[in-house]
Structure 1
Amino acid sequence: MSTSAPKSVAGTPNRSLRRTRPRYGEAVIKGLLMAAALVSVATTVGIVISLIPPAVDFFRQVSISEFLTGTDWTPLFSDKKFGVLPLVAATFVITGIALLIAVPVGLGAAIYLSEYARPRVRQLLKPSLEVLAGIPTVVYGFFALAFITPQLQDILPEAWALEVRSGLAAGLVMGVMIVPTIASLTEDALSAVPHALREGAFALGSGKRTVSVRVVVPAALSGIVAACVLGISRAVGETMIVLIAAGVSTGLRFNPFMEMETMTAFIARAASGDVPVDSIEYNTIFAVGALLFLATFVMNLIAIRLVRKYREVYE
């Protein structure tokens, strides 16, 4: 009986589909990718570990109810009060103003780039728009203080009493800063919508605007929500613009024409001062940081739920 190797139909020996030798390059790439993922997780864990001990020491001296419901914030003064509501209110007022600018402008720019602009125009405009994301935020802060505020003081009535540093100027410039983030991510989500949906809508007699607004935007809603949430997180965590342009406040304020201090601005101001380590003034930095981290974490959880709810899967 012959023991020769089996022949294929063409008469050549069949080769095993098993791997003949290990692929070290692939293993190295997998290891690098896993290391990158672990670094991001380890960074988050490290932030939490660094925040917890000083925050716990702070809440041993200040009750959580006083911290969350108090309307006066003077931890660095002789008469110390630890109500964080002024910082929280200023953070959300300025973030709200920024979103009023960034969301409509960013969404409109994304729809134009994805649905209306020609390829050459898109190749020119999108990088130009993303250049705004590379400008240092300290430049935005001085721009708000030196240019936007004087212009607003000339435009707005004197009765409105716009102060030199105000939440309005900081919010407007912050909105311009996060436009590229929202526009770029939204444009990517819109471009990912299959062209078959557009072609089907055109075949039914729909116009360009109807297809863009009623077909493409709903189909990319999960990506749009993710872009907006990322913009919110960027605005909430912004430091230099509000530190330079928004000013300082010790009481609860909702008037954007007045000075107001955000959580990030306080952290930067207190950390750069002569605050004794392990003192209650020093621990306020970590208490506010923990609250800011928790707020951002909750927003991300809400965003994940919204993205999963409105996600469209195409084959």
Structure 2
Amino acid sequence: MSLFWLIVIVLAIAVAGYVVGRARALASAGGDMRILHSLPSYYGSNVAMKTAVPAFLILVVWLLAQPFYINGTVSQMIPESAVGEGSSLGLVMAEVRRAATGLDNAVASGQMTDDFARNARADFNDITARLKDAGQIVTSQITQPVMRAAQSYRIMVSTGNLIMSIVVILAAIAGGLWGLRETNKDFRARNTVEKGVRFILIAAASIAILTTIGIVLSLVFNTVEFFRLYPATDFFFGTTWSPSFSGRGGSSELGIIPLLWGTFYISIVALIVAVPIGLFAAVYLSEYASPKVRAVAKPLLEILAGIPTIVYGLFALLTVGPLLLSVFGDGGLGIMKAGTAVMTAGLVMGIMLIPFVSSLSDDIINAVPQAMRDGSYGLGATKSETVKQVILPAALPGIVGAILLAASRAIGETMIVVLGAGAAARLSLNPFEAMTTVTAKIVSQLTGDADFASPVALVAFALGMTLFVVTLGLNIVALYIVRRYREQYD
């Protein structure tokens, strides 16, 4: 049974429980609602809640726990000889899961029967050939231990899903019967439902925290797996980025320093463009512009924030790059060799960041109390002096936050870099040379031909973890600056 239909069945049982519970409550009161402790809808909601919540809780826990159990069980079937040099048991398990998915797809497309896919005595070369003919195998070859483990993995997943469906449906029915049993005119249904809703809301509020923890753990586990295959010192201190997709990637040079340099260099160029323009625009809109001008200019400026980044990337590739090449290329100063360069991506990214800086800074400046402006004017200061000596210092924590938010946005940008800056990983001070960033290489490493048995694919997680730590450090610095200046102006 598919997950979709399982959820539909549980919801149907919950709806039926709501209807029956409401009717049972009215029947216990002889049809007179005034005798009931709570409204009839609360009795129905109590039955529906006790039907759906335990069932969905079991479903979520089962879906989280089953992969760990199956992976642990199947991994014990793989002999040590199947784990080659430069690989690991976790990476071989990735091949097993991929082969199991290929078997499922081949059965679904009619390339083979389910009995044939489950047959442990079937010739694995025959199975491999059929999977390749169906376009299901992405690795160059598949070994017998991997194929046998994939068959066992597939059987265990199918059995586990069947048991899960039965347990979840039984839990839903049991919960509904429990709710119906306690339904009577004296039952405090409203109190029970409100308490249950409270716990549901707490669980919903916890999803963001749990999601963050899950993201971090996924990065950590895969990063640790990468450093088991590739030296950490070579990764963090290497000055050459040269991944090789042959074999297991043993000849690859995966130094992150050129990528970090390109990331920070392009981000600095973007901030040099965005911060002055955005800040000056915010000061004008908040202090000098008339209400009519502000009502038109602010929405027009914020339209920039709604433009997809791929459009900015095309703008960099087709317009800004050729324009810079005509000025700084062979037809001009001769210092630029191609349209893709740090300056191209930095300028376009700076344009994209202007609304982030201007809109947030404008809101912060408008939040400065009017009494501070009036006091400055009362002491004889001009408008420009008030802006420079009173408003901007008071709004500085928020402005710094806006700038750092723009910096985080610049560091995480991908499409503008891919189309505007090129793909060369190099260390250079020339802003008119092509460079690349960490995010661009994460995309290229996960969309290439390497499988997850290779460090050149796992390196994407190490890059992501590094980027996460850098962004976290940036936010910590921002928090320190905000607190320091906030104490001064509170």
TM-score bracket, normalised by the shorter chain, equals 0.7 to 0.9
TM superposition shift of 1:159: 2.4
TM-score by length of 1: 0.87
Deviates more, 1:224-233 or 1:267-276: 267-276
Give the match for residue 285 of structure 2: 113
One-letter amino acid of the counterpart of residue 128, structure 1: L
Gaps of 5+ in 2: 1-189
Partner of 2:210: 42
Select which of 388, 393, 404 maps to 1:229. Answer: 404
Give the counterpart of 1:129 among 301, 307, 330.
Answer: 301
Distance 1:67 1:204 in 2: 59
Distance 1:91 1:23 in 2: 55
Name 2:340's counterpart in structure 1: 165
- Post-superposition offset of 1:278: 3.5
Q: Which residue does 2:255 correspond to in 1? A: 83
Compute the RMSD of aligned alpha carbons.
Answer: 2.4
Indicate the residue corresponding to 1:209 in structure 2.
384
**Structure 1 Cα separation of the partners of residues 315 and 197 of structure 2:** 44
Name the CA shift for 1:203/1:31 in 2 (closer, same or farther; >3 Å): farther
Deviations 1:175-224 (A, max 9, x none): 00011011111111100000000000001111111111110000011100
- Provide the rounded CA distance (Å) in 1 between the counterparts of 2:200 and 2:337: 53
1:161-185 residue CA offsets vs partner (Å, 9 max, x unmatched):
2422111100000000011011111
Q: What is the CA-CA distance between 1:233 and the residue it aligns to? A: 0.2
Paired with 1:105 and 1:243, the residues of 2 have a C-alpha distance of 25
For 1:244, the equivalent position in structure 2 comes to 419
Q: Give the counterpart of 1:151 among 323, 343, 352.
A: 323
Q: CA deviation at 1:309?
A: 0.8
CA deviation vs aligned residue, 1:96-119 (integer Å, no higher than 9, x gap): 000000000010011011111112
* Structure 1: distance between partners of 2:433 and 2:489: 49
How far apart, in 2, do the equivalents of 1:295 and 1:313 lie?
A: 28
What's the CA shift string for 1:131-151, capped at 9, x where partnerless? 100000000001001000111
Change (3 A) 1:31 1:138: farther
- Alpha carbons of 1:35 and 1:225: their partners in 2 closer, same or farther (altered >3 Å)? farther
Distance change (3 Å), C-alpha of 1:239 and 1:31: farther
Query: In terms of Rg, which structure is larger?
Result: 2
The DSSP-based 3-state class of the residue aligned with 2:426 is coil
Check if 1:66 corresponds to 2:243. Answer: no
Q: Conserved in 1, the CA contact under 8 Å of 2:394 and 2:489?
A: no
Q: Which runs of 4+ in 1 moved over 4 A?
A: 26-37, 312-315
Question: Following the alignment from structure 1 to structure 2, what is the Cα–Cα distance between the partners of residues 215 and 290?
Answer: 41
Q: Call closer, same or farther: CA 1:225–1:205 in 2, change over 3 Å.
A: same
The whole-number CA distance in structure 2 between the counterparts of 1:36 and 1:27 is 14
Distance 1:143 1:70, change over 3 A: same
Shift of 1:250: 3.5
CA 1:100–1:48 in 2, change beyond 3 Å: closer, same or farther?
A: same
The answer to whether the aligner puts 1:55 opposite 2:230 as a matched pair is no
Indicate how the Cα distance of structure 1 residues 68 and 183 shifts in structure 2: closer, same or farther if over 3 A, else same.
same
Structure 2 vs 1, CA of residues 162 and 115 (structure 1 numbering), >3 Å: closer, same or farther?
Answer: farther
Q: Aligned pair 1:181/2:353, yes or no?
A: no
> Any stretches of 5+ residues in structure 1 without a counterpart?
1-21
Indicate how the Cα distance of structure 1 residues 235 and 27 shifts in structure 2: closer, same or farther if over 3 A, else same.
Answer: farther
Which digits, 9 at most, give the CA deviation of each residue in 1:46-100, with x for residues without a partner? 2101111111011122222211111101123554101111100000000000000
Give deviations 1:27-64, integer Å, cap 9, x for gaps: 99987875665333223212101111111011122222
What SS does the aligned partner of 1:50 have?
helix
Alpha-carbon distance between aligned partners in 2 of 1:244 and 1:55, rounded to the nearest angstrom:
28
Distance 1:23 1:314 in 2: 47
Q: Once structures 1 and 2 are overlaid, which stretch shifts more, 227-236 or 75-84?
A: 75-84
Contact 1:220 1:312 in 2 (8 A): no
**Aligned ranges for residues 302-313 of structure 1 at < 5 Å?**
302-311=477-486
1:69–1:84 Cα contact (<8 Å) kept: yes
1:110 and 1:183 in contact (8 A); partners too: yes
What is residue 45 of structure 2 aligned with on the other side? none
Which structure ranks higher in relative contact order (CA pairs < 8 Å, sequence separation ≥ 6)? 1
Looking at structure 2, the residues matched to 37 and 73 of structure 1 have their Cα atoms a distance apart, in angstroms, of: 42
User: Which structure is higher in helix share?
Assistant: 2
Contact 1:276–1:282 (8 Å) recurs in 2: yes
Q: Equivalent of 1:92, from 222, 245, 264?
A: 264
Instruction: Give the share of equivalent positions with the same residue, in percent.
Output: 45
Secondary structure of the equivalent of 1:220? helix
SS of aligned partner of 1:274: coil
Distance 2:371 2:324 in 1: 47
Q: Distance in 2 between matches of 1:154 and 1:66?
A: 40
Q: Does the CA contact (< 8 Å) of 1:67 and 1:83 recur in 2?
A: yes
Whether 2:272 is the aligned partner of 1:104: answer no
Q: Secondary structure at the match of 1:249?
A: coil
